[in-house]
Structure 1
Amino acid sequence: MIVTSFRRRPEPHEIAARVTSTAAELLEVLWGRASTAPASASQLRVLFILEHHEGINLRTLADSLASTPPSTSRLCDRLQAAGFVDRMVSPHDRREVRLYLSGRGRAFLADLRVRRERALQTVLEQMPAAERVALVQGLEAFCAVAAAQIHDEGAEDRRDRTA
C-alpha cells in the first residue's frame, strides 16, 4: 500500500515572509561591504532612531533598543565623542537630557545611504524593468504597513508608560 503524504501549501503571506527575510539577509551582506566605520551596528541603530525621533530622552531610547539606560548612555557617550550626537538639557526638566543627531551625524548617515544605494543599484540594474517596477510597488506597500505598525506600537508603548 502506498501512502501519499500531503503537505500543506504555504500561504502567500508565508512565502512573502520567507522571501523578505532572505532579502533582508542578502541586504545585510551587500551593505556589509559598505563599511559603517566609525560607528558600530549598535551605534548605527541609535543614529537611525535619533534621525526619526529628534529630542528623544535616554530612557525612551533605551526602551527602543531593548537595553538599559546605562548601556545606552555609554553608546551615546561614544557617539557624542565622535561628533554624531548632541545632548541638551530639557527645557522642561533639567534632570532630563534630550538627544539629537548632529550635523556630522546627518552627513554620516547620508554618505552611508549613498554607498548602500550604489551597492543595491548594481543588483537592481541586472533585473528586468518590469520586475523592478513590481519590486518598487511591493516595497512601497510593505514600508507603508510596517511604518504604520511601528507607529501604532510606539503609541501603544507610550500609553502603557503613562497609565
Structure 2
Amino acid sequence: MSPSPRPQPLEVARVTSQAAELLEVLWGRASTAPVSASQLRVLFILEHNEGINLRTLADHLGSTPPSTSRLCDRLQAVGFVERRAAASSRRELQLFLSRRGRSFLADLRSRREDALQAVLEQMPVAQRTALLRGLEAFCAAAAAQIHEDPAAAATA
C-alpha cells in the first residue's frame, strides 16, 4: 500500500508506530543489559535533567517515588547513578548520571546506530534524505510538545 499524496496524521502515526516496533526489535539485538527498559528510561531522563530530585523523576516517569527510588537503587548498585545531597537542603537528594552511566549510554547509542546504519544503507539516497528531513521535523515537534507538558512525555 503506497502512501497517499497527502498522508493524514493517523496514517503517519500507524507507520511510525510500526517503525518504532521494528526499531525495538533491531535495538533488542543491541542488549541493554544490565538495565531494564524502565531503568534505561531513568538514565535518559537523568542525562537531560542533571540534579533532579526523586519526586521530579517520578513525575517524569509517571510513577511513584517509592517505585522510582527502587529503580534508582538498582542503577546506583551497578554504578550508573549517583545520589548527592542538595546544596539547598541536605535532606533532599539530587540524582546524577555517573561517568559509568554516561559511558553505558554512549556505548548503547553506538550499538543502536550501527544496527540502524545497516538498515539505512539498504535505502536509496533520496529516501534516506526524505527520512532525515521528516525525522528532524518529528523530533522538533515532539521536543516542543514534551517541553510544554512533561506529564505527557511520561505517559507516551
TM score, norm. by length of structure 2: 0.91
One-letter identity of the residue aligned with 1:62 = A
1:28: how far off? 0.5
1:154: how far off? 2.8
**109-118 or 66-75, which deviates more:** 66-75
Partner residue of 2:62? 66
TM score, norm. by length of structure 1: 0.87
Residue 120 in structure 1 maps to residue 119 in structure 2 = no
**Whole-angstrom CA distance in 2 between matches of 1:135 and 1:155:** 28
Residue 28 in structure 1 maps to residue 24 in structure 2 = yes
Partner residue of 1:137? 133
Which protein has greater RCO, CA pairs closer than 8 Å, 6+ apart?
2
Unaligned runs of 5+ in 2: 1-5
Task: Assess if the C-alpha contact under 8 Å between 2:82 and 2:97 holds in 1.
Answer: yes
Partner residue of 2:13? 17
Residue 87 in structure 1 maps to residue 83 in structure 2 = yes
RMSD across aligned C-alpha pairs, in angstroms?
1.6
| Superposed structure 1 runs of 4+ greater than 2 Å apart | none
- Name which one, 1 or 2, has greater alpha-carbon Rg: 1
One-letter identity of the residue aligned with 1:94 = R
Unaligned runs of 5+ in 1: 1-9, 157-163
Aligned length: 147
**Whole-angstrom CA distance in 1 between matches of 2:35 and 2:53:** 21
